[in-house]
Structure 1
Amino acid sequence: MKKLRIKIKPKAPFASELNSDTFFGHICWGIKYLYSEDELTKFLKRYYEESETKPLIISSGFPMIDDEELYPKPVLRPLNKEEEDCLSKYFNGEKIIFYSALKTLKKQSFISRKILEELKNNLSYHNLYKCVFEGNYCPVNFLKKPEKCKSSKRDCSYFTKNKCDFIKSISSESNIFHNTINRLTNTVEEKGGFYSTKNTFYEESVRIWIYIYYDDFEIEKIKEIFNFISISGFGKDKSTGKGYFDFEIEENVIIPKSDNPDAFIVLSNYYPKKDDFQNAQYDIFTKIGKLGGDFANLKSIPHFKKPLLFIRPGSTIKPYNFKDFYGDIVRNVHTDERIIQYGITIPLFVRVLWG
């Protein structure tokens, strides 16, 4: 399958997470609105067939800082006692400082492309944290340490909770409060009349990247569909100005890959097939999908799908075999049989130290 990367520049706050299944839903509605319902039906029919390719596979969205991709931090085997003792030597055996630093690293959500390229053939928490404690990488999202930063591991501002001039923020979250007005009384409803929504504001310099694998799908259509999404808005609260963005497309991208992989990092919300994998380190979450497009305006059907258990991006999966995608489109998730749930992931192949 051909590969491309879409780089998104947010122009407004986002009220929805940049999930792969939400992107896929927007793509489906884009096909219907820009082309025809018949073309959407043909597009979706390809996903129900057992095939080594699909028309289009998409990752979730992740941030870029200084044009460097950040990937979801891998879920790996916890450190054992021997590995902890080995890492604590970088702090001269001062256990309190060491465990405080370790706790800070465990909280990170992302991992930089540079360190992933370095560790893709030997990935473990021990090797990842060692890169930081040796002073080569910053503890914040495991980015390459800035040349101007002279801090050692012991006096690193991030470990000591002090202000650091080199840390670049990705985004901030804010609760926006709303009133529901009763149009008859012109007053706020007593029950549920006052509520808040969470909005994510991305820093001006931050970009969001997503990968798309595609086969038998024209790249010009991908451009047209994403142009449609960019001006109509992504996710919730589009009508109030949320989710607008600019974008650019890069073709023939090179994705990090181990020379001798035995696992993959999940890059999308993943609903696995029965025979997808033999071992895994993973996080799971429950997804209750909300209807969009034409379905969102129908009062005759429920506006939410049935709950489904998904594997979260960053999980590491040991598959039975290696291919371009894993997972499935889930059907029968709603009383209306036309409604489906996207659960296919793009894999990032690595070699993991399991034992």
Structure 2
Amino acid sequence: MELYKITIRPDSGFGTSVKGDTLFGHFCWQAAHDPDLLKTDLETAIEQYARKPFAVFSSAVPTDAVQGAPHCFKRPDIPLDWFLSSEQLSKKEKILAAKDLKGKKWIKGNVDLILDATRKNLAADSDFMDNGVSEIGTYAHNTINRMTGTTGKGRFAPFETTISWFYPGVLLSLFILADPEFLDKEDLVKGMSRIGKFGFGRDASTGMGRFTILDTCLLPLPDLSAGDALYTLAPCLPEKERFNQTWFTPFVRFGKHGDLLAGVRRPFKNPVVMADEGAVCIPAEKIETPYIGCAVTHVSKAMPETVVQAYAPVLPIRLGGRHENNL
């Protein structure tokens, strides 16, 4: 597979977090509307997805936001004291250091896409430019009663939803694995550009989820042997018995069909429990692919052939010293 980094500029608020599994669903709808986007028909690509994924999308990560760090990823979901295991600290110093680490939600990544689980590589929101990365706001909605021509009570009462707004100047990176047998760079960019133009996620019809592609570059596949564990870039389902140890934050995807199926009788999918991006997995065997996970099927009654991307691109991460409490 080939690894592409797509840099995007958010042009509006986002009603849905930019996560890899949702990006995959959006891209599949683009392929459904444009049969030339993939080198084969979408039905064939989906049928083979559990054995041979044609594309694996990462969640969005801030880029060039902290001085000296080309990328900042979500802090790995390993115990906080792991970042202190290489330091000679008293019990009191460890408690104070752990309290400080709770506010550092990011880990810096170098140009080689290798992560080091050390305290000096962690960053807080305040390290990003002047303000941070994003903030949560509200967005007003209403439904007009066609009998009265106004809003009213019950289903016609105005309501608000939460929206994430990125601060000016914040750019995001998407790391996408594409199989050149199914998808090339030009068509990948074309599909992603259309998603940015028409909107991503919830409330796209009201102007949310807009973005512009600023740059696309081909990167060498990361050397997974450079670390002693793997770091995931999207929600996924790590395969059983393939890893000796896994740390993760559970993430439940309450999926809903979009596009042409948004208005069907049963647009909701069965929930899928995954490990959120930032999971750390210690392999029990050599990993040959630049991704881990699987595809999830049987999640939809409206479209039985639907699959969920429970794959995730992975990066090598150096954990350093281990102690009994971490194993």
Shift of 1:254: 4.6
The one of 137, 148, 156 equivalent to 1:185 is 148
Distance 1:242 1:187, change over 3 A: same
CA contact (8 A) 2:114 2:226 kept: no
1:112 aligns with 2:79: no
After superposition, residues 332-347 of structure 1 pair within 5 angstroms as 332-336=298-302, 337-347=304-314
Cα RMSD, aligned residues only: 3.0
The one of 112, 124, 137 equivalent to 1:140 is 124
- Report the equivalent of 1:348: 315
Distance 1:11 1:348, change over 3 A: same
Shift of 1:46: 2.3
Shift of 1:253: 1.9
Q: In 1, Cα distance between the equivalents of 2:122 and 2:227?
A: 26
CA contact (8 A) 2:295 2:307 kept: yes
- Report the equivalent of 2:31: 31
Shift of 1:245: 1.1
1:61 aligns with 2:64: no
- Report the equivalent of 2:239: 273
Q: TM-score scaled by structure 2?
A: 0.84
- Report the equivalent of 1:158: none
**Aligned residue identity for 1:244:** R
Q: In 1, Cα distance between the equivalents of 2:43 and 2:161?
A: 34
Shift of 1:63: 1.3
- Residue 212 of structure 1 aligns to a residue in which SS? strand
**Aligned residue identity for 1:296:** A
- Report the equivalent of 2:136: 173
Of Structure 1 and Structure 2, which has the larger fraction of its residues in strand?
A: 2
- Report the equivalent of 2:77: 75
CA contact (8 A) 2:233 2:277 kept: yes
- Report the equivalent of 2:282: 318
CA contact (8 A) 2:114 2:315 kept: no
Where do 5+ consecutive residues of structure 2 fail to align? none
Shift of 1:199: 1.1
CA contact (8 A) 2:56 2:309 kept: no
Between the aligned residues of both structures, percent identity stands at 24
Bigger Rg over Cα = 1
Shift of 1:295: 1.0
The farther-off stretch of 36-45 and 279-288 is 36-45
**Aligned residue identity for 1:318:** I
Shift of 1:107: 2.9
Q: In 1, Cα distance between the equivalents of 2:150 and 2:178?
A: 51
Q: TM-score scaled by structure 1?
A: 0.78
CA contact (8 A) 1:284 1:310 kept: yes
Where do 5+ consecutive residues of structure 1 fail to align? 132-136, 145-165
CA contact (8 A) 1:11 1:245 kept: yes
Q: In 2, Cα distance between the equivalents of 1:313 and 1:71?
A: 9
